[in-house]
Every structure is written in structure tokens, then in C-alpha cells.
Amino acid sequence: MTAADRFEYERIPYLVLFRDESAYRDTYGGVGEDVVLESYLLRPKNLPSDTVIVFMHPIGGGAYLPMSNALPRAGHHVIYCNSRYRGVDSALIMEKVVQDLGACVRDARERLGYRNVVLAGWSGGGSLSLYYQQQAQSPTVTRTPAGEPPDLTALDLQPADGVMLLAAHVSRHGTLTEWLDASILDESDPGKRDPELDLYDPANPNQPPYTPEFVARYREAQIARNRRITAWVKETLEDLRSSGRGLEERGFVTHGTMADPRWLDPALDPNDRVPGTCYLGDPRIVNMGPVGLARFSTLRSWLSQWSYDDAYADGVRCAADLRVPALVIGNSADDACTPSHTNRLYDAVGHPDRTLHTVQGATHYYSGRDQRPHLAEAVGVITDWMAKRGWAGSL
């Protein structure tokens, strides 16, 4: 029996409910202005604690992941709280997700009675947790990048006591930009491409292993494409507002969002990942498929979560402001969050109590029987880290 499976635990579904006075709805379902967050308390049986680990990902869906369930088996109390955008991020506003996480943290302390809250930022939850903690410590954001509510300074967000970054990437906008297909020249016609930047064209003279010159050119083209989309978004939003339609939205498609040279060239940002694959499968297929990052978006959502220059939820910038201990865990075979992301986050942490650990051989999700020892190692690191700070003991 390992440290990851010592205790039986119960899964208790519950709701976090609060009122949101937004001028328009960006999620479907629910009643009026009520926001309902579907949540789970995963609690070891007969083992009380004053500390809870809180997971939230911008689009949720992780309540049954291996890590979420291994932690309560190791004796930890865990909350997995889904944001209002569970499963659909086409209209997601990061500032509203911060509001959601704030409601969950407050509920954990004031209704469920936990004294200590440790944020667990898994994957895309990493930059969310850092953004939340930055604004809870010293709120500065009064408007979204589109210039609209919510005002985070008015929410009385409660800071967490610690932050864990687990297989986390630096930000949604940074990750998208690194994955954008730089060859696409016309957003309305993705068939118009620069053949020398098309990673998946066998006729492209630039093939792995890529030269530094090609990679630099490709990265510049990715940023330029993000900025072209952002310029169109801002122009369209301004046109709507100037014509008296300030609350109207526009939905749009972004083609080609899984074309990172790293997926084809293992020498770039090297780790133990399998070349030619990504965490969603074959990147050639995902690049134009329906589940790619930012495939469907709205004007306001693009500015808040995908714009390279405008989005606020930047993990590296927010980590610099941390005033609580931080644990950063990277996985050496991660095919989503490569080492540069792990290292950038760790290097950026501004609090002196920071810990970095890499789980050799671990994939992004710890999925599969062969990943169980790696999952147990990660849970053991978390358990030791929390115990040394007085957060792992029972009441």
C-alpha cells in the first residue's frame, strides 16, 4: 500500500451559489443572475482536518482525474470546484473565473469550516490560481481587458495560505500563442498559408530538427498572428460600441491552434515526451479539429483569455507577487506543459519559500497503470510539503 491509497474517502457533491449582476449572460442555463458552481468535496472517511486543497480549472472537468482522487486517498481533504464555464470556454472571462474561485474559497472557510486553504493549480488552473492569489493579496484589476465588470477590487477576495502549481503552464494566452499555426495568413480562409511555415506540409523545406533561425521566425509569426486577431477583435468591439450596440457580441473561429514545433522536434524544450504527439493526440488532427484551444471564441473572451498583450491572467507576472509558499511540480514526460513552463513559473515565484520537484517519467495526467508510481511520488511530495508547513495533519 502506497502513500497514495491509504484511506477510503467519500465524494460529496455540493453547490456554491452566488449572485452576479452582469449586464449580459455568457453561460447557458441557470436562473436569472444566479451563478451555480458544481463542486465536489473529496474527504477521507473519519479523518477530520482544518486544511483543504482547492482545485479549479477555467473550464473544469478534473474532479475525476488521477491526482484529484489520489490526494484524498493519501489523507487530504480536497475540493474540486467547477467554474461557471464548465466544459465550454468560448465566452469565458478570466475575471469572472477569479470571482468563481473567490466564492469557492470563501465557502470553504465560512460554510465548510476549513481554516487553511491551499490552491492546487493543475495545468490551466496554475495561472488561474496565481492570478486569483495576486488579486486576493492586493487587488488592482477594476475591469476586464474589454473595459467591463467585474471589478476584482470590490469582491473582497480571500487569499489562500499556499499555492501548488501542478503540471501547470504559464498562461492560456501564452500557451495558445506558442501553439498557433504560424502559416495561416487569412483568418477567413485557413487554406491560405505560408508554405515555409506550415509544419504539417511534407513539402516544407523546413523539417525537424529545426534550425534556430526557423524557430525564431516561427515564434515571431505566431505572436504577429495573435496580434492581428486581437487588432480585429478590438476594431469590431469598437464598431459595435460606437454604433450604440455596446452589449452586443460576435462569435468567431480561430483555425490552426496546435502547431507548436515542439510536438515534432523533441530537441526543442526537451523532455521525455513522445515526438509527434500532444496531450490531445495527433497534433496534425487537433490543429484543425473542434477541441483545439480557442477554436470558438467571442470578442470579450479573446481579450480576457487569449490575447498575447491584453490578458491579465499571466502566471509569470502574477507569481512574482506571491506572498505565500509555493510548490511547483513538473512532469518529465508531459506532452502539454514542457519544462520551460515549469521553470519559468518556479523562477518567477516572488516568495522565498518555493520548492521545485520534477517527477521523472510522469505524463500530464498520470493516466494509466504504468503512471501509478509517478502519481504516488507526486502525492508524496505534496504530502511532505504540506506537512512541513502544518497543513497535512488531522484535527
In this prediction, residue 6 carries a pLDDT of 84
Query: In the numeric block, which cell numbers belong to residue 5?
Result: 491509497
Confirm if 129 and 165 have CB atoms less than 8 A apart: yes
- Cβ–Cβ < 8 Å for 138, 367: no
| Torsions phi, psi for 367 (to 5 deg) | -90, 130
* Ranges assigned E (strand) in 146-277: 162-166, 251-253
**Helix/strand/coil for 202:** coil
Which region, left, alpha or beta, applies to residue 390 given φ > 0 means left and ψ of -120 to 50 means alpha?
left
The reported pLDDT for the residue numbered 309 is 98
Distance from C-alpha of 36 to C-alpha of 15, rounded to nearest angstrom: 6
Instruction: Please say whether the beta carbons of 230 and 309 come within 8 A.
Output: yes
150 upstream amide cis, omega within 30 of 0: yes
- SS3 category, 305: helix
Low-confidence ranges of the chain (pLDDT < 50): 1-4, 395
Q: Which candidate, 5, 367, 334, places its Cα nearest to that of 165? A: 334
All structural domains of the chain: 9-171+311-388 (3.40.50.1820), 178-306 (no CATH)
Q: How far apart are CA 252 and CA 23, in angstroms?
A: 21
Burial call 201-218: b when 16+ CB within 10 Å, e when fewer: eeebebebebeeebbebb
Alpha carbon separation from 64 to 15, 79, 367, 369 (Å, rounded): 17, 12, 11, 16
Residue type, 31: V
* pLDDT (0 to 100) of residue 393: 58
CA 293 – CA 258 distance, rounded (Å): 8
| Sign of the dihedral defined by the CA atoms of residues 137, 140, 142, 143, in that order | negative
Going by the DSSP 8-state scheme, the letter that residue 169 receives in this structure is: -
> Contact, 72 vs 25, CB < 8 A?
no
Q: List Cβ neighbours of 64 (8 Å cut-off, separation of 6 or more).
A: none
DSSP class of 278: B
For the stretch 136-149, what's the b/e string if a residue is b when 16 or more beta carbons lie within 10 angstroms of its beta carbon? beebebeebbbebb
pLDDT value for 23? 78
- Tell me how long the chain is: 395
Kindly give the pairing relationship between strand 77-81 and strand 51-55.
parallel
H-run or E-run covering 100: helix 94-110
| pLDDT of res. 31 | 65
54 membership: H or E segment, kind and range: strand 51-55
Rounded Cα distance, 214 and 220, in Å: 10
Three-class secondary structure of residue 165 per DSSP: strand
Output the pTM of the full model. 0.96
